[in-house]
Amino acid sequence: MGADQRLLGAARAGIRGARADGDAQQVGRLLHRPAADALRFHRGDARCADAREGRAPLPLRHHHGPARGGAVRGGVVPARAVPAAGGGDGVVVVTLDIGPLRLATPLLLAPIAGHCDLAFRILCREQGGVGLASTDLLNSHAVLRGSPRSLELAATDPADDPCGMQLYGNWDDPLPEAACWALDRGARLIDINMGCPVDKVAKKNGGSLLLCDALGTVRLAARIVDAVRRHSGGRVPVTAKMRLGWDPERFVAPELARDLESAGIAAVTVHGRWTVQLFSGKADWARIGEVVSAVRSIPVIGNGDVTEPVHVAALMAASGCRGVMVGRGALRTPWIFRQAEALLRTGTAGPEPSFDQKVACIERHVDLLERHHSPEHLLHCMRSRVSWYGKTMGHVKALKEAVRTAASVGEIRTALRGWRGLEVREPVLGRSFRETPAG
């Protein structure tokens, strides 16, 4: 039996509620190295709590959970298992409950800063398998003052359901009021960003800096939960997305997740890196498992280094998490959710989309951008995204250049049609796409 089959067996055993401890350990050894193997961070970075004026340094907290690389927590069901229509051994349809909200799959599209606009969320949903998609992170002050950019980021559509809205800010910002604002605009879930590592967010004491004052962060979460409960009548859950901690000396995620659960948070998503790593090194899935062991009953959603459908099963097996959030992996393969859902249900991810199907997906993305966003946003988005799509499509240098220099959506469509081979010879900005690229 190959490594992928062992991996899938462990994940699906967990879905049925069985202990998958031994298999999960084997999966960890075969397919995932601890993040420490490739960890790169700056020990001199003092932007955490001990650099906050007037706050005491954050003590090193020790969590007595399973050892790194340890077993899946016994009794934790990674997702709700529902027998598929027609039955069949081992065939399940997985759902995920977050408070009162039931998701059709345990697969979530991450609120990827700068990429997760309405058009892309709908595109991923149309490809299949998405249980929840969330907006780009929203500044609490900006949404309340009606910033045009924030209104665009928060825009949703009946095809974008269920939609979560992610807010960022700190203890002194109007996050409870912003959460109520989001509810009035159709949010089915409110997510608090506690994990963004970039300076734009952290320098305002938001994102990952919330990890550095656990007590203040839990109090903030309780205020948001109370406001949302009152405003929605208890129908909308509040969740939190975090990292493991600021650096390896501050592994706060397990204790913080447990305290957030006590404050009413309905689920936590954990990205398996430290803030100082940004996106370098490896995500430490075993550490996510320690968060799973720390909470009492809420679902933990794993995130980090999920770029293939099999990684979903691997992460669930290695950590015991109930759901998986996909970020950068979806930028190059928006169909990853459909394949991952099929893998969990049936044991196979199904065929890879053909070259023409991949180009058709890009063309559909253009359609959705044209429908929901400005021409300027469309051009900017496609210029940045064609490189991501090209990672699975062979040589795309000519297409990238044509899209980069395109002055209109029409020129982008022409480039895609020619590259797809539907028009065997049509000049595009001085180029000819007669040859069909390798797919």
Q: Which of 196, 212, 321, 381 is catalytic?
A: 196
| pLDDT number for residue 303 | 96
Give the separation between CA 177 and CA 174, rounded to whole angstroms: 5
Q: What is the pLDDT of residues 414-426, one digit of tens each?
A: 988 888 764 333 3
Confidence (pLDDT) at 132: 98
Retrieve residue 230's tokens.
């009152």
The whole-number pLDDT of residue 249 equals 86
Same domain, 335 and 271: yes
Residue ranges making up the domain that contains 404? 355-432
Pair (101, 191) in one structural domain: yes
Q: Do 133 and 108 touch, CB atoms closer than 8 A?
A: yes
**186 is a domain residue:** yes
Q: Does one domain contain both 282 and 402?
A: no
Same domain, 97 and 201: yes
Q: Answer yes or no: do 389 and 428 share one domain.
A: yes
**Are both 371 and 342 inside the same structural domain?**
no
pLDDT at 209: 83
pLDDT of residue 418: 82
Q: What is the pLDDT of residues 391-406, one digit of tens each?
A: 888 777 888 888 889 9
Both 313 and 383 in one domain: the answer is no
Q: Has residue 82 been placed in a domain?
A: yes
Could you tell me if residue 302 is inside a domain? yes
Q: Are residues 117 and 216 in the same domain?
A: yes
Residue 437 lies in a domain: no
Residue 321 is part of a domain; what is its CATH number? Answer: 3.20.20.70
The pLDDT value recorded for residue 420 is: 73
| Residue 438 belongs to a domain | no
* Confidence at residue 205, expressed as pLDDT on a 0 to 100 scale: 59
How many angstroms separate the CA atoms of 330 and 366, rounded? 16
Determine the Cα–Cα distance for residues 33 and 284; give it in Å rounded to an integer.
8
Distance CA 180, CA 190 (A): 9
Q: How far is CA 305 from the centre of its chain?
A: 10
Torsion of CA 200, 203, 209, 213, to 10 degrees: -150
Q: Which residues of the chain have pLDDT under 70?
A: 1-93, 197-205, 421-439
Q: Does the annotation mark 196 as catalytic?
A: yes
- For residue 196, being part of any structural domain is answered with yes
Alpha-carbon gap, residue 355 to 243, rounded angstroms: 36
**Structural tokens at position 78:** 């990674």
Q: What is the total count of domains within the chain?
A: 2
